[in-house]
Chain A
């Protein structure tokens, strides 16, 4: 079985994000999106149990995005593909999905795994977009995933009013939540081995993606970004045996009681 895990290089969310003058996220520094580790983990668990499984990590991003691939390879897997091209900068979710889909057509996997969302843009759009491009089924926001020998993949989705089980035949796109199982930490051996695993870099031309469909051709435009004004400092009081009453007083003045 061939699995491709789509991963993203994102700014460290513990830092303040920086933006370029044309309202793009500054991607000079970053890391593997934390939620992607759950998708990598699921791929590795399949590889641990199904002999002959080949796992490729795939990303679209600027040159430093290769770091995200090395991190994923350090967790495990066999190879990585980095789609990198000056024409990509500024791509929105549909443009990114177009590029990823072109790479997936070339990699011809049985299963594509993604995180439920990136930790920066956080749109959750790309997995379903990939499925639409490829005319494949998508099973998104999986809290559990099972693969049977007949090539059926089934997931459990924890929706607001119900728990839903969804199924599809491979090939399929599955996105997973952070409920699906904790990712493994890369071992020292894994980190060393990752340096020797093949990492190919492809351009838009390699994939036959027309430059006028991506990057500045994005179908959405950001007009403005402003930092949220910090909240006014609140009143913090010690309980001193009166905490509940003090809180009740506050809630009364605010008309909540």
Chain B
């Protein structure tokens, strides 16, 4: 089997779920090679192996933290060595930026926002959701090494234990690779809640909440259900919640098992970010709100009565 390069990235703790999803998909195409840097300890190697990495390749350089283009150089070097059948990255801003530059450098085709990959007679066949997730598109790369940027939650991580070989290489950047540099990073405080893109349950609040303080109600419901907190663009623009929680076209797209939209009307830009959720629940006082067109279950009423009652019910039924 041929190698499939999987960009795991810089590790400073446990391997993320998104990387395990990439490894799970990569196995369908060949032998996954996990490409990483940072703290790649025994535990990280064991985890990567458990999800099917045949090889863990460590880039021995801190430049990947300082220069975003360093990953492009690292992957291009590895590609020249191994001629992989595909390169997989996450479809995040960072992953897409790397995929874009790599595609030009290798003269390859690239696909983004991929939600499924199958092997085909002419190479990987990717499924994408396009046009505000209103369409399902199947595509292939027909020139060069396929570079595929995969959305999180595209696959359920499956174990396929392997004992990976660990290989290492230094990284030599040229001047052009250093032209974009990181000046500083401010880590966000962890909320203790699951990550929005990875969560099985997402509870989102919108304009109907009427203010920042009322988002506590959304947080309480998310915590009661073990979910993540999302927000509509209107709520974010009003300054009630941070942008990293924005669900929609210009925020994150989520596809959880359960999406609860509270006080959200359901504009097209919001729907683009959540309409692939398995089960959709809406609470809104306006019976005409377009969100109800998507909802599997909707309650027309005052969220300030419905949500507290729901919280009481959840507590009571669990007691």
Using CB atoms and an 8 Å cutoff, list the residues of chain A in contact with chain B. Answer: 13-14, 16-17, 23, 35, 92-94, 97, 116-117, 119-129, 131-133, 135-141, 143, 154, 157-169, 172, 177-179, 217-228, 231-232, 234-248, 250-252, 254, 256-257
Contacts and interface: CB of A to CB of B under 8 A. Distances in A.
B294 interface: yes
Nearest to A140: B97
A166 B68 contact: yes
Given A121-B130, A251-B225, 20 more contacts: A97-B104, A124-B93, A135-B176, A140-B93, A163-B185, A178-B250, A219-B107, A219-B110, A220-B143, A221-B139, A231-B275, A236-B298, A236-B300, A238-B299, A240-B301, A241-B305, A243-B302, A244-B305, A246-B299, A247-B306
B163 interface: no
A35 B250 contact: yes
Interface string B300-319: 11100111111111100110
B182 A179 contact: no
A136 to B, nearest CB: 7
Given A220-B139, A224-B137, A123 B96 contact: yes
Interface of B: 68-69, 72, 92-94, 96-97, 99-101, 103-105, 107-113, 125, 129-144, 176, 179-188, 195, 197, 201, 225, 243-244, 249-250, 257-258, 268, 275, 279-281, 283, 287, 292-302, 305-314, 317-318
Interface centre among A117, A133, A157, A223 (most CB of B within 10 A): A223
Contacts of B296: 231-232, 234-235
B134 A248 contact: no
B249 A119 contact: yes
6 contacts: A122-B113, A125-B103, A161-B188, A166-B180, A222-B137, A239-B299
B143 A13 contact: no
Contact of B301 (A135, A158, A162, A239): A239
Contacts of A220: 109-111, 139-143
Contacts of A244: 305-313
Contacts, number: 259
A238 B305 CA distance: 12
Nearest to B109: A219
A120 B131 contact: yes
Contact of A164 (B107, B179, B182, B298): B182
Contacts of A137: 69, 179-180
Contacts of A159: 93-94, 244
Contacts of A257: 225, 313-314, 317-318
A219 B295 CA distance: 39
Contacts of A241: 305
A219 B143 contact: yes
A135 B308 CA distance: 56
A100 B182 CA distance: 27
Contacts of A157: 93
B138 A222 contact: yes
Contact of A158 (B109, B244, B275, B294): B244
B243 A143 contact: yes
A256 B243 contact: no
Nearest to B133: A228
A250 B300 contact: no
B136 A225 contact: yes
Contacts of A132: 72, 100-101, 104-105
Contacts of B141: 219-220
Given A120-B131, A162-B187, A234 B297 contact: yes
B315 to A, nearest CB: 10
Given A164-B185, A227-B135, A218 B283 contact: no
A164 B182 CA distance: 7
A94 B186 CA distance: 33
Interface centre among B139, B250, B311, B314 (most CB of A within 10 A): B250
Contact of B142 (A23, A221, A235, A238): A221
A125 B96 contact: yes
A109 B139 CA distance: 35
Contacts of B279: 254, 256
B137 A248 contact: no
A135 to B, nearest CB: 5
Given A159-B93, A164-B185, A228-B135, A245 B309 contact: yes
Interface centre among B131, B132, B249, B302 (most CB of A within 10 A): B131
A8 to B, nearest CB: 14
B166 to A, nearest CB: 26
Contacts of B143: 217-220
A254 B293 CA distance: 19
Contacts of A250: 281, 297
